[in-house]
Structure 1
């Protein structure tokens, strides 16, 4: 990713903060993590890491556009997909959590990991997010694959 994309990604992500300058300072001088409010520019769908990593792999195909911003939390074993805010959408499934208006999400800067948070697909500053219908289809496919694989792996 070029320096221009990093800069645009930082500005785009920090715009979700109540004070974007303080947010950027926290990324650079604090512990590297800022709490950003969901629901205005984006929502986050958080899923168990095995499901999320397989879903991202399905989304990352040459025939499709580059996936939207995707964050992994290695301590909580979760993957977060950034998608357009939509208070009317209900995501139903075991282990699915949606952070929308009124929720806060801990995020590192787009240019580096911080503690247990790391961007698998950092924001590029264009505002591109995961398309909900495409994400849902990939989640269903990944869930079906895991349902077959789990009994064979003994988990």
Structure 2
């Protein structure tokens, strides 16, 4: 993603911040290149354990051209899928954590590599608001889990 794609992604992400200008400043000035953003406004995040998250992403990218944004934390211990707001409140799956209304997530700048191996984008936002359909994500999780057992 370059140029206007990154700018659109920055604007899309920063739009949920109480102060979007301060959010953009944080991304530019913080050496980690991260900002703390509220979930539950434009997206929720379903957080899968790493051993399920990466295989789920592999299945998902075979099913659709481009899922919504996907984050990974230090050491790939967890993978976070951006899903429509309200998903976390309805999610009943076990072993999956969620960040929805009333929670905050650490979000890296969409156009820079993570400093020090911290939180990073596996699939950065493109600024269009594309999110992963929760039903499709659940199907991909089931297939990934079944392959892991097989």
Q: TM-score normalised to the size of structure 2?
A: 0.91
Per-residue CA distance 1:63-121 (angstroms, 9 max, x = gap): 62311100000247100000001154123122x10110000000111012244111000
Larger radius of gyration: 1
Report the TM-score when normalising by structure 1: 0.88
Moved over 2 A (4+): none
What's the RMSD between the two structures over aligned residues? 1.5
Where do residues 16-55 of structure 1 align in structure 2 (5 Å cutoff)?
16-30=16-30, 31-55=32-56
Aligned pair count reads 146
Distance in 2 (CA, whole Å) between partners of 1:118 and 1:106 is: 10
Q: Give the Å deviation of 1:143.
A: 1.2
**Residues of 2 paired with 1:103 and 1:75: CA distance?**
23
Which residue of structure 2 lines up, in the alignment, with residue 131 of structure 1? 133
Structure 2 Cα separation of the partners of residues 76 and 102 of structure 1: 25
Partner of 2:110: 110
TM-superposed CA distance for 1:57, in Å, is: 0.7
Task: Give the secondary structure class of the aligned counterpart of 2:90.
Answer: coil
Structure 1: 5+ residue stretches without partners: 149-155
Is there any run of 5+ residues in structure 2 with no aligned partner, and where? none
- Asked if 1 retains the 8 angstrom alpha-carbon contact of 2:45 and 2:83, the reply is yes
